[in-house]
Chain A
Amino acid sequence: MNESDDIQLLRAIRQGDAAAFQSLYRRHRSGLYSFALLHSGAPDVAADVVQEVFMGLLGDSYGFDPLKGMLANFLYGVARNLVLGHARRNSRWVQPTGADDEDDAFDQVDTAAGPLARLLDDEAAEHLRRALAALAPHYRDVLILFELQEKSYQEIAEICQLEIGTVRSRLARGRAALAKALAPYRDLAKDIA
């Protein structure tokens, strides 16, 4: 995504251009929603987070400064804080859940894939969500941004307000913890196979 396009859209938004606001929203909504969805495991929380991010941008309540970094990373930083705020207010999303009460969390699928592939992807993604929910939020942040959003160490450091060394260490520990949390699901899949 081109940062200069984002800045131009922001300028147009401040002049009251609704189409620019819609374009900016559509550029970033999917990434932010995926991040919030995987982080919280709850589609309604993810939707709320995306809405709050853009409401804040609309009211300029977060004070984005283009000289301090990219808009996309700034939006991820705001989304992260909002997700963590939701998690603090309702701890059920940071605890591992064995229940099937949120099986529809990943109902967005790639329609080009076959039915079986989609089913397997959904199942694996759900396992990932449950394993991530078992991790501490500060490991979840770094893992999702690195593995799903493919952000660099530098970008993650900017989003999470961390030193790069801390990003590296959290990523290594998070990956180890995630592998441990995924192990039961993988064993189950092997048994079924």
Chain B
Amino acid sequence: MLQTATDATAIAASDHDPRQFGLIFDRHFANIHRYLHRRVGLDLADDLASETFVVAFRRRADFDAAQGSARPWLFGIATNLVRHHRRTERRKLGAYARTGVDPVAVDAAFDSADDRLQADVAKPILAKALAGLNRKDRDVLLLHAWAELTYPEIARALAIPTGTVRSRLNRARRRLREPLAAIAQVNDTSTDLGGSHDE
């Protein structure tokens, strides 16, 4: 008996009744906020996440109902908003790399001293590597790894061909290979030293 509106029907209905857009917010805000938080930090994420939905609402006529879920579309908008703040993003990654303290997740809890040790050593290396990526490659990589979008979804989100998604992702992963190998080594070492971290 219960009918659940799809994203597409809610967006269409919001054309004459903006309240309907609340459903899009309820479904996707937390994920968009989390993605932005990881990219640019909490304060900016609060603003950009709201802005994402304002922009989406304004451009709701552009939403392709055939897509079904609004998720890729919203992540695309959020990613475009991050572009205006890429210096902030790089600065925060750089600070993490230099100090070992992540300005984006200063209050994140660590499970154990071992995790902290591992985090202290490995994560700044990754932060530096991410900061060093080309902006477009970083967008594709993080939409894939953090937003968990598929190649075709990323292509729709960023309005680029799927082939381009693949090549950017490959390039990003290639550039990260070396620093990531270093992290793997660090992890192995810390495990050898008696770390109890389970892989």
Q: Please indicate whether A and B come from the same complex rather than being unrelated chains.
A: no
Residues on B close to A: CB < 8 A? none
